Chains A and B, each alone.
Chain A
Amino acid sequence: MASFFDFDVKNTPGKAYSSMALILVVLLIFPFFAAQFGNSWVRIIDIALLYIMLALGLNIVVGFAGLLDLGYIAFYAVGAYMTALLASPQFAALLESVINQYPVFGEFLVGVMGPEILANGIHLSVWLIVPLAAVVAGLFGALLGAPTLKLRGDYLAIVTLGFGEIIRIFMNNLNEPINFTNGPQGVNLIDPIRVFGVSLGGEPGSRATVFVGGFSMPSVNAYYFLFLFLCIAIVFVTIRLQHSRLGRAWVAIREDEIAAKAMGINTRNVKLLAFSMGASFAGVAGAMFASFQGFVSPESFSLTESIAVLAMVVLGGIGHVPGVIMGGLILAALPEVLRHAVEPAQQAVFGRIIIEAEVLRQLLYGLAMVLIMLNRPSGLWPAPKSEDRPDGDIDKPAPASGVIPA
């Protein structure tokens, strides 16, 4: 796969840039092409792009630094719920509950914020929400990462899992006495994203069509371009991080933490940075998710989702950015594709649905993780290893065992 597309900017810049340009063109044309078959395909890719952002963020924690975070989805939730609170009527509900519980304090808050807020809630613009989501999620990343710094691999996994669950439980229950999250019902009526005066959700009454300049396009297409842009930005940042002093420090910790410390790396701080950066990507993705869907509920942030993102990273190639993108694409889009194809096929052949799409999705995730770990632990598209020998090299080391040091 790597031979057709070559991204080696240093050695073959011509081929690298033309490869990238080719892919970019395909990506830009895609929604118009896919729209021929109905909006649902673009919608699937929109969701897939969000998952790819998540996978890239988790890749920093698991892939670069080697920290198995099983509660990663908590940061997605933080970004999403933060957006829910600051870009929907939810804040009004929160203020109301404060007034009911602590009338004096509540009235004081209304006095400070203005009765407008009590009526409509807060509606920050996307330009504030995105950086805020990144920062708040990043802080949570450091917060939840801190207790895990001294733990060995499997304990770290369980503790992070615990944190993920704790966050979900809180989201599910922080509606009494003060209504932060509206509990299991979730928060809806979240504002769609508004850039340069254009709402990506489409103008009311236009059946979700967005008008830009003289053009019109379905809302899902508009979101597609936004998510694509964010994805590319995240890829850019990730690759820059990877090939930097910090990126090397992460890999050093992953490969041998004791040696890393002996070389002067402050592993505590570097690990916290990994958690924070990964979390901040998830926070941004979460904010996008909330606006795109218009609605968030604790169900979307379960352990299953954390594991799904992990499966994407594992399937694609732990630590290798192109592999992770591929893993994200496969595991996010494939189940939906199958749903469209497999269920009608089963109907036609068997007269009924034997395996539902939902079950198929789970099956795929489980099989992906088990089969890859048993047979190809470095993933479907791992980083190329340099075994190139200079001429006249007589010492031939033992052949690679094929098992990656994680």
Chain B
Amino acid sequence: MDTFIQQLINGLVLGSMYALVALGYTMVYGVLNLINFAHGDVLMIGAMAGLTILKILNSVAPDLPGYVKLGIAIAGAIPVCMLVNVIIERVAYRRLRNAPRLAPLITAIGISILLQTFAMMIWGRSPLPFPQLLSSEPIKLGGALISQTQLLLLVLAAVSMIALVLLVEKTKIGRAMRATSENPRIAGLMGVDSNKVIVATFAIGAALAAVAGVMWGANYASIQFAMGFMPGLKAFSAAVLGGIGNIYGAMIGGILLGIIESLGAGYIGDLTGGFLGSHYQDIFAFVVLIIVLTIRPSGIMGERVADRA
């Protein structure tokens, strides 16, 4: 039972990161009907930027408490990621708004490759160690252990998601986003500048990915130029699981997927009589994706995609 709770907590932590990235995918898909294939790499850029900031902090102000340093790293990574995502939208996706179906997806793949290549050039190819800034003294929770970093991650994820919900439900830009997501043309007739909305969508998604990226680094203690690809894919699966275009769906889908993956990896040995081991962990996300798309393509909470007739 202790293992169960431990896996559950691990799953929650993992799922929170998936949720943050899934939100980016789902929001962009909601307004543009486009899978921003490169979004996982934005997570990587966040982690790399965060690491660079931490290195600078360590040489300039090494005595700051760990929390503060992490906070500054996140605060610094956010604008970097936002800039990257907004540039990508402006330079690449905007010109393909009305292009036939394959073009935007292929372009997105190309952008993903370019992001990884630039990261390779700037930060090198080998994995980079991410400093452990919080005490490694774990906290006991239920029958399981949770590290301070993981706890911080959960808190940050929750805060981010609440902030996002408030933004979307209570602010003018949020209303504009919801309107554009439902019907861009009508929203335009009501005075909503769809370009501004789309830029905002990309920026917000990037900010969330930045948070997830820095915390990913903090949690796993190691980052690398290719680290964004798998989490990105899984986060997309989570978004589909929850209902593409639906931000509550993305949150629920992300957390659910994290838990499924964690429990699955933990118990797969027992389930398959030793034939499959925990190395097969990555498969769960894909299996979930395929099952969802086959049985209930609109996801748990129903999809919300723009009416682009």
A and B touch in the complex (CB under 8 A): yes
> Which residues of chain A have a CB within 8 Å of any CB of chain B?
62, 66, 68, 70, 147, 151-155, 157-159, 161-163, 165-166, 169, 172-173, 176-177, 303, 307, 310-311, 314, 318, 355, 359, 362-363, 365-370, 373-374, 377, 403-406
Q: In the complex, A347 Cα to B53 Cα: how many Å?
A: 32
Q: Is the CB of A165 within 8 A of B274?
A: no
**Residue among B95, B240, B286 facing the most chain A CB atoms (10 A cut-off):** B286
Q: Is B99's beta carbon under 8 Å from chain A?
A: yes
Q: In the complex, A303 Cα to B121 Cα: how many Å?
A: 20
Contacts of B35 in A (CB 8 A): 154, 157-158
Q: Identify 10 new A-B residue pairs, CB closer than 8 A, beyond the known A153-B101, A158-B236, A355-B121.
A: A147-B293, A158-B289, A161-B233, A162-B233, A169-B279, A362-B113, A366-B117, A367-B110, A377-B103, A405-B100
Main secondary structure of the interface of A (DSSP, over half): helix
Min Cβ gap A260→B in Å is 15
Q: Is the CB of B101 within 8 A of A154?
A: yes
Min Cβ gap A323→B in Å is 15
Please encode chain B, from 285 to 303, with 1 for each CB lying within 8 Å of some chain A CB and 0 for all others. 1100110011001000000
A153-B102 contact, Cβ under 8 Å, with A169-B280, A365-B113:
yes
Q: Is the CB of B105 within 8 A of A157?
A: yes
Query: 16 A–B contact pairs at CB < 8 A?
Result: A151-B293, A153-B105, A159-B293, A161-B233, A162-B233, A162-B237, A162-B285, A172-B279, A310-B109, A367-B110, A370-B114, A373-B99, A374-B92, A374-B107, A377-B100, A403-B103
Q: Is the CB of A362 within 8 A of B120?
A: yes
Contacts of A365 in B (CB 8 A): 110, 113
Q: Is the CB of A359 within 8 A of B120?
A: yes
Give the residue of A151, A166, A173, A369 whose beta carbon is less than 8 angstroms from that of B109.
Answer: A369
A374-B114 contact, Cβ under 8 Å, with A161-B233, A172-B279:
no
> Which residues of chain B have a CB within 8 Å of any CB of chain A?
34-35, 92, 95-96, 99-107, 109-114, 116-117, 120-121, 229, 233, 236-237, 240, 274-277, 279-280, 282-283, 285-286, 289-290, 293-294, 297
Give the residue of B110, B283, B289 whose beta carbon is less than 8 angstroms from that of A366.
Answer: B110
Q: Is the CB of A147 within 8 A of B290?
A: yes
Give the residue of A162, A310, A362 whose beta carbon is less than 8 angstroms from that of B290.
Answer: A162
Q: In the complex, A130 Cα to B111 Cα: how many Å?
A: 37
Contacts of A310 in B (CB 8 A): 106, 109
Min Cβ gap B43→A in Å is 17
Q: Is the CB of A362 within 8 A of B116?
A: yes
Q: Is the CB of A177 within 8 A of B105?
A: no
Min Cβ gap B16→A in Å is 22
Min Cβ gap A148→B in Å is 9
Q: In the complex, A314 Cα to B106 Cα: how many Å?
A: 9
Q: Is the CB of B290 within 8 A of A68?
A: no
Contacts of A368 in B (CB 8 A): 110
Q: In the complex, A154 Cα to B229 Cα: how many Å?
A: 17
Give the residue of A155, A169, A366, A377 whose beta carbon is less than 8 angstroms from that of B113.
Answer: A366
Q: In the complex, A169 Cα to B282 Cα: how many Å?
A: 8
Contacts of B105 in A (CB 8 A): 68, 153-154, 157
Q: In the complex, A171 Cα to B283 Cα: how many Å?
A: 13
Contacts of A70 in B (CB 8 A): 109
Give the residue of A147, A166, A366 whose beta carbon is less than 8 angstroms from that of B111.
Answer: A366
In the complex, the chain B residue whose C-beta lies closest to that of A370 is: B110
Min Cβ gap B178→A in Å is 22
Contacts of B283 in A (CB 8 A): 165-166, 169
Q: Is the CB of B101 within 8 A of A406?
A: yes
Lowest 10 CB-CB distances: which A-B pairs, in order? A369-B110, A162-B286, A366-B113, A406-B102, A370-B110, A366-B114, A406-B100, A373-B107, A153-B101, A362-B117
Give the residue of A157, A159, A177, A370 whose beta carbon is less than 8 angstroms from that of B92.
Answer: A370
Contacts of A405 in B (CB 8 A): 100
Q: In the complex, A195 Cα to B94 Cα: how many Å?
A: 54
Q: In the complex, A359 Cα to B225 Cα: how many Å?
A: 12
Give the residue of B100, B117, B285 whose beta carbon is less than 8 angstroms from that of A363.
Answer: B117
In the complex, the chain B residue whose C-beta lies closest to that of A371 is: B110
Contacts of A355 in B (CB 8 A): 121
